């Protein structure tokens, strides 16, 4: 009993911590919530005055189409209006085709639902196709609402109701687009704020702020890869509003890449136990320079960074070679980021977008759209849920629970964990919103007499739910569903209502729809979030292997192909980390050693690699020519081959029996080079052994590393650089071993 009580207390504490984090204020959240509230109230007032049907759905469209910046909101709104137009016309054509044969309506509904759900997974225009499929499918159910009347009157009523759907959706969409273009935040503004936040965070860490006060290394890892993805997204959206020369596009893209490298190296710095006072002072000098750079990019009228960058003495290199080499790399990057020759931080610089680049096989469909069975299976499962929901509420003659069909459209996401997570949020939103709606109908509606009082009630609820909606993915959907359930309870007909059955029916429909989805998605072709996360990890490892093989990889590289690979690597890691958070929602899934720790382990390989820049891949036949250079090239080649092997293992393509026998050498890891490796085994693909490259020999130093230097400081610096590189090769090998053990499950 004590154990269960402690578990409940721990669960409540975790939920309270999640609620505090999700509901905390952040820059722009108040403005976004107020804008959404005002738009919702305006939509309701216009709908009530002109008696536009389905007012609750119109109010919900405001929540569905609003984003945190004006570019994506405007694009979403315009595309959805186009989708609505196509959907309404398609529904009318299908009604005309099935007028003489009512039995065709159900096949039409099934095909439309399947195509909408399939397109949502395989096309960049998936959300538009999904919205079109949803509207057409729901429009084909409107005939069930028409009472039995003369044929002419029924046809006229049906046509008018279908055409009203366009007004129901287009009115709020148009208002959202106009309001956001006038008052919304520009994506280049969000880019600037995020960039400044990253630079200032990096400066504070170099000044000695404890990383655990910010959230620990797990938080910092997420801040690095998810922040890079967000920066690129804001850059892309800003390009939708303004077009700029390719030179400025390259500048903005390179700036994102350099700040990512800076954050990665500073993450490594926070893991070192640096005690040398000169090194600490040098790191603080870099921290002050970063804060100046942050201020420089925050305001255009601020003077360029002027704080001197440190010069490391030979004594510092001798005291802590590993930390000295890392700090030298940080200084090199900082000199580039804070170079006053960079363009001034004007709006034109911030609004520079990453222009889309054509890639082979990529267009309106993903490359494996018709070869990957997961897409078809998802569409079939979703269609089965939708049609089952329609048959259930039709056969039991309970049209009030038609939200069961709507739930089946919006709850199905992809993996079982994601679907169950969304189900939990939808159920919670339906219960909370429905309960508040019922309470309003019972206690408040009888005292309301005009539209102003109704607007005040709805506006209050809209503000609270919009505040939740503008949180993270972990809780935002609950805010949307709470708003929808509340609107469906209180916005019945025109004016205040006292109808309690509507609220009951909506909640029942949501609960029944969740049950249907859960039964189908957990028993027919279940697709685990962990399996998809493993695929994301495998993709990240492949990108990392390709990255290490690039000739321009390293701190001094130009912003070319390697930057693109780094961005793709971060995107894959962010997606994998996101999916691992949903694995806990999958009861009965076998335990796996892969999880959030594996995301951090993959990311940790990049830091030492950035420090060990300048080692290019070997040319054919070059391995072993000289101990100082060719062996280093071979180490890079072995690391690339091993990462490729590990990617296949993480994706589950290799049987566990083939991996169990791989043993790592137990030699002492005090070296500066990795063993040349035994590449003869046929067990592993491409002749690579089933273990990461090891390091077992002492660091190779020149026969007389100080022969050409009369200056003692120069001699110590050279020796320190050699030992520092040896230490970082050792760190890379140790992390490779850790990642190797994590993937052996």
- Distance between CA atoms of residues 371 and 363, nearest Å: 16
Q: pLDDT digit string (tens) for 435-473?
A: 898 888 888 888 888 888 889 999 999 999 999 999 888
For tokens 């099935």, the residue is 98
Chain centroid offset of residue 283 CA:
32
Cα–Cα distances in angstroms (integers) from residue 368 to residues 89, 365, 414, 564, 571, in the given order: 31, 8, 16, 22, 19
What count of other Cβ atoms lies within 10 Å of the Cβ of residue 372?
13
Question: What is the per-residue pLDDT for 659?
Answer: 36
| CA-wise closest residue to 548 among 572, 560, 565, 536 | 565
For tokens 């919304």, the residue is 184
Question: What is the per-residue pLDDT for 409?
Answer: 87
Question: What is the per-residue pLDDT for 37?
Answer: 95
Are 246 and 79 in contact by the 8 Å Cβ rule? The answer is no
The domain ranges of the chain are 27-185+371-523, 187-350, 536-585+594-654+668-742
Question: What is the per-residue pLDDT for 589?
Answer: 62
Cα–Cα distances in angstroms (integers) from residue 202 to residues 103, 195, 343, 543, in the given order: 65, 11, 22, 25
CB neighbour class for 690 (10 Å; exposed up to 12, middle 13-18, buried from 19)? buried
For residue 72 the two structure tokens come to 């994506």
- Distance between CA atoms of residues 348 and 144, nearest Å: 54
Angle between helices 2-23 and 451-469 (to 10 degrees): 110
What string of DSSP letters covers 284-303?
A: HHHHHHHHHHHHHHH-TTSP
- Write out the H or E segment, with its range, that includes residue 158: helix 151-183
Q: Which residue stretches of the chain have pLDDT < 70?
A: 1-12, 14-15, 100, 146-154, 243-249, 300-304, 338-363, 494-499, 550-561, 587-596, 613-636, 652-711, 713, 743-745
Which residues, in sequence order, are bridge partners of residue 659?
Answer: none
């Amino acid at each position: 009993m004590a154990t269960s009580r402690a578990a409940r207390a721990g669960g409540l504490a975790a939920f309270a911590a999640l609620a505090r984090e999700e509901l905390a204020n952040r820059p722009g959240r108040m403005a976004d919530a107020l804008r959404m509230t005002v738009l919702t109230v305006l939509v309701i007032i216009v709908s009530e005055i002109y008696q536009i049907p389905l007012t609750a759905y119109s109010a919900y469209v405001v929540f569905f189409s609003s984003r945190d910046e004006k570019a994506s909101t405007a694009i979403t709104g315009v595309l959805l209006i186009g989708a609505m137009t196509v959907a309404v016309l398609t529904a009318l054509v299908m009604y005309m085709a099935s007028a003489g044969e009512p039995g065709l309506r159900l096949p039409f509904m099934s095909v439309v639902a399947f195509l909408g759900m399939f397109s949502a997974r395989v096309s960049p225009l998936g959300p538009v196709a999904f919205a079109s499929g949803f509207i057409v499918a729901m429009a084909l159910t409107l005939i069930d609402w028409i009472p039995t009347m003369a044929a002419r009157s029924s046809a006229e009523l049906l046509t008018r109701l279908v055409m009203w759907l366009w007004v129901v959706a287009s009115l709020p969409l148009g208002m959202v687009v106009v309001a956001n273009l006038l008052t919304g935040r520009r994506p280049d503004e969000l880019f600037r704020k995020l960039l400044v936040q990253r630079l200032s965070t990096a400066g504070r860490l170099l000044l000695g702020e404890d990383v655990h006060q910010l959230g620990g290394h797990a938080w910092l890892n997420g801040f690095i890869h998810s922040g890079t993805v967000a920066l690129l997204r804001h850059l892309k959206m800003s390009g939708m509003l303004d077009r700029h020369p390719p030179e400025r596009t390259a500048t903005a893209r390179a700036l994102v890449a350099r700040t990512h490298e800076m954050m990665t190296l500073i993450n490594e710095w926070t893991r070192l136990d640096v005690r040398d006072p000169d090194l600490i002072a040098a790191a603080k000098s870099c921290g002050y320079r970063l804060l100046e750079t942050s201020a420089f990019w925050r305001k255009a009228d601020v003077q360029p960074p002027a704080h001197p960058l440190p010069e490391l003495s030979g004594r510092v290199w001798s005291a802590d070679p590993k930390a000295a080499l890392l700090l030298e790399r940080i200084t090199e990057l900082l000199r580039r980021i804070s170079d006053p020759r960079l363009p001034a931080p004007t709006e034109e610089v911030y609004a520079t977008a990453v222009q889309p680049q054509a890639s082979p096989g990529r267009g309106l469909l993903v490359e494996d759209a018709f070869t990957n069975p997961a897409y078809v299976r998802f569409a079939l499962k979703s269609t089965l849920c939708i049609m089952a929901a329609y048959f259930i509420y039709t056969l039991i003659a309970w049209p009030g629970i038609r939200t069961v069909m709507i739930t089946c459209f919006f709850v199905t996401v992809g993996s079982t964990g994601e679907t169950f997570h969304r189900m939990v949020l939808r159920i919670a939103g339906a219960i909370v919103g429905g309960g508040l709606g019922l309470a309003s109908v019972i206690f408040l509606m009888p005292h309301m007499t005009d539209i102003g009082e109704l607007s005040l009630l709805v506006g209050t609820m809209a503000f609270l739910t919009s505040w939740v909606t503008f949180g993270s993915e972990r809780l935002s959907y609950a805010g949307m569903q709470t708003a929808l359930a509340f609107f469906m309870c209180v916005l019945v007909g025109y004016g205040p209502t006292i109808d309690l059955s509507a609220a009951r029916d909506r909640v029942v429909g949501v609960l029944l729809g969740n049950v249907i989805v859960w039964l189908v998605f957990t028993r027919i072709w279940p697709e685990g979030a962990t399996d998809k996360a493993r695929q994301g990890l495998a993709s990240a490892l492949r990108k990392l292997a390709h990255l290490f093989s690039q000739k321009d990889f390293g701190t001094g590289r130009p912003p070319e192909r390697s930057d693109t690979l780094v961005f793709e690597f971060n995107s894959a890691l962010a997606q994998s980390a996101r999916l691992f958070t949903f694995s806990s929602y999958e009861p009965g899934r076998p335990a796996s050693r892969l999880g959030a720790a594996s995301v951090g382990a993959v990311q940790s390989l990049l830091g030492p690699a950035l420090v060990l820049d300048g080692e290019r891949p070997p040319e054919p036949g070059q391995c072993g020519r000289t101990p100082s250079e060719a062996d280093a090239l071979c180490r890079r080649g072995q690391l690339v081959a091993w990462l490729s092997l590990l990617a296949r293992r993480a994706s589950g393509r290799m049987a566990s029996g083939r991996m169990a026998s791989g043993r790592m050498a137990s030699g002492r890891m005090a070296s500066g080079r990795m063993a040349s490796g035994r590449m003869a085994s046929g067990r592993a693909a491409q002749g690579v052994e089933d273990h990461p490259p090891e390091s077992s020999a002492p660091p190779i130093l020149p026969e007389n590393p100080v022969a050409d230097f009369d200056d003692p400081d120069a001699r110590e610096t050279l020796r320190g650089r050699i030992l520092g590189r040896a230490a970082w090769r050792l760190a890379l090998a140790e992390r490779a071993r850790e990642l190797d053990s994590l993937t052996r499950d």
